[in-house]
Amino acid sequence: MPRIPSTRASGGKPIVAVIFTHSHIDHFGGIEGVLSAEHAQRDNVRIIAPKGFMQESTSENLLAGPAMGRRATYMFGGALARSPRDHVDSGLGKAPSKGHFSILAPTDVIDHTGQTLTVDGLEFDFQYAPESEAPAELTFYLPQLKAFCGAELVSHTLHNIYTLRGAKVRDALKWSDYIDEALQRYGRRADVVFNSHHWPVWGHDRIVDYLKIQRDTYKYIHDQTLRLANAGYTPREIAEQLTLPESLAKPFHNRGYYGTISHDSKAVYQWYFGWFDGNPANLDPLPPADAAKKYVAFMGGTDAVIEKAQQSYDAGEYRWAAQVLNHVVFAEPDNDAAKALLAKTYDQLGYRAQSGPWRDVYLTGAKELREGAQGTSLDMSRGLGLLRQVPIERFFDAMAARLNGPEAATSNLTINFDFQDRGENHVLTIENGVLHHWKRPPADNANATVRLTHPALLALIGGQLSPQQLKVDGDRASLGRFFSLLEAPDRGFAIVTP
Ligand SMILES: [Zn+2]
Q: How far is the CA of 416 from the centre of ligand 1 (A)?
A: 40
pLDDT at 6: 53
Interatomic CA distance for residues 336 and 332, integer angstroms: 9
Interatomic CA distance for residues 134 and 112, integer angstroms: 16
**What is the DSSP pairing of strand 434-439 with strand 108-110?**
unpaired
Q: Of 26-30, 37-41, 137-141, where does the model show the most confidence?
A: 137-141
Q: How far is the CA of 197 from the centre of ligand 1 (A)?
A: 6
Q: How far is the CA of 445 from the centre of ligand 1 (A)?
A: 48
- Give residue-wise pLDDT tens across range 298-318: 999 999 999 999 999 999 999
Q: How far is the CA of 26 from the centre of ligand 1 (A)?
A: 5
Q: Are 264 and 248 in contact (CB under 8 A)?
A: no
Q: How far is the CA of 5 from the centre of ligand 1 (A)?
A: 28
pLDDT at 246: 97
pLDDT at 377: 58
CA angle 437, 439, 441 (to 5 degrees): 115
Q: How far is the CA of 430 from the centre of ligand 1 (A)?
A: 39
Give the residue-averaged pLDDT of 325-346. Answer: 98
What's the predicted TM-score (pTM) here? 0.95
Q: How far is the CA of 413 from the centre of ligand 1 (A)?
A: 43
Q: How far is the CA of 104 from the centre of ligand 1 (A)?
A: 18
Q: How far is the CA of 152 from the centre of ligand 1 (A)?
A: 6
Q: If you average pLDDT over every residue of the chain, what do you get?
A: 94
Q: By percentage, how much of the chain surpasses pLDDT 70?
A: 97
Q: How far is the CA of 179 from the centre of ligand 1 (A)?
A: 17
Q: Are 67 and 376 in contact (CB under 8 A)?
A: no
Q: How far is the CA of 53 from the centre of ligand 1 (A)?
A: 14
Q: Facing residues of 87 across strands?
A: 82
Q: How far is the CA of 24 from the centre of ligand 1 (A)?
A: 6
pLDDT at 491: 87
Is residue 486 packed enough to be buried (19+ CB in 10 Å), middle (13-18) or exposed (0-12)?
A: middle
> Helix, strand, or coil here: 244?
coil
Q: How far is the CA of 153 from the centre of ligand 1 (A)?
A: 10
Q: In what order do the strands lie in the sheet with 448-452?
A: 434-439, 424-431, 413-419, 448-452, 471-474
Q: Is the pLDDT of residue 1 over 60?
A: no
Q: How far is the CA of 51 from the centre of ligand 1 (A)?
A: 18
Interatomic CA distance for residues 250 and 242, integer angstroms: 15
Q: How far is the CA of 199 from the centre of ligand 1 (A)?
A: 13
Q: How far is the CA of 428 from the centre of ligand 1 (A)?
A: 37
pLDDT at 2: 38
In terms of pLDDT, which residue wins out, 451 or 462? 451
Q: How far is the CA of 23 from the centre of ligand 1 (A)?
A: 9
Q: Is the pLDDT of residue 148 over 90?
A: yes
Give the residue-averaged pLDDT of 134-144. Answer: 97
Q: Which of 137, 141, 136, 271 is nearest to 211 (CA)?
A: 141
CA angle 17, 21, 22 (to 5 degrees): 135
Confidence of residue 374 (pLDDT cuts 50, 70, 90): confident
Q: How far is the CA of 133 from the centre of ligand 1 (A)?
A: 9
421: Cβ contacts below 8 Å, ≥ 6 apart: 453, 454, 455
Q: How far is the CA of 132 from the centre of ligand 1 (A)?
A: 13
Q: How far is the CA of 147 from the centre of ligand 1 (A)?
A: 20
pLDDT at 440: 97
C-beta atoms surrounding 159 within 10 Å:
27
Q: Is the pLDDT of residue 327 over 70?
A: yes
Q: Is the pLDDT of residue 4 over 60?
A: no
Q: Which of 134, 71, 166, 94 is nearest to 356 (CA)?
A: 94
pLDDT at 58: 85
Reported as type and span, the H/E element at residue 179 is helix 172-182
Q: Is the pLDDT of residue 492 over 50?
A: yes
- Give residue-wise pLDDT tens across range 53-83: 999 998 877 899 889 999 999 999 999 999 9
Q: How far is the CA of 90 from the centre of ligand 1 (A)?
A: 11
pLDDT at 376: 65
pLDDT at 296: 98
Is residue 98 packed enough to be buried (19+ CB in 10 Å), middle (13-18) or exposed (0-12)?
A: exposed
CA 78, 80, 81, 83 torsion: positive or negative? negative
Q: How far is the CA of 175 from the centre of ligand 1 (A)?
A: 15
Q: From residue 415, how far is each of 390, 405, 478, 482 by CA, in Å? A: 21, 17, 9, 8
Q: How far is the CA of 88 from the centre of ligand 1 (A)?
A: 18
Q: Is the pLDDT of residue 113 over 50?
A: yes
pLDDT at 408: 98
- Give residue-wise pLDDT tens across range 239-270: 999 999 999 999 999 999 999 999 999 999 99
Q: How far is the CA of 196 from the centre of ligand 1 (A)?
A: 7
Chain centroid to CA 419: 31
Q: How far is the CA of 289 from the centre of ligand 1 (A)?
A: 36
pLDDT at 96: 87
Q: How far is the CA of 267 from the centre of ligand 1 (A)?
A: 19
Q: How far is the CA of 74 from the centre of ligand 1 (A)?
A: 17
Give the residue-averaged pLDDT of 412-424. Answer: 97
What's the DSSP call for residue 232?
T
Q: How far is the CA of 129 from the centre of ligand 1 (A)?
A: 15
Q: How far is the CA of 350 from the centre of ligand 1 (A)?
A: 23
Q: How far is the CA of 28 from the centre of ligand 1 (A)?
A: 10
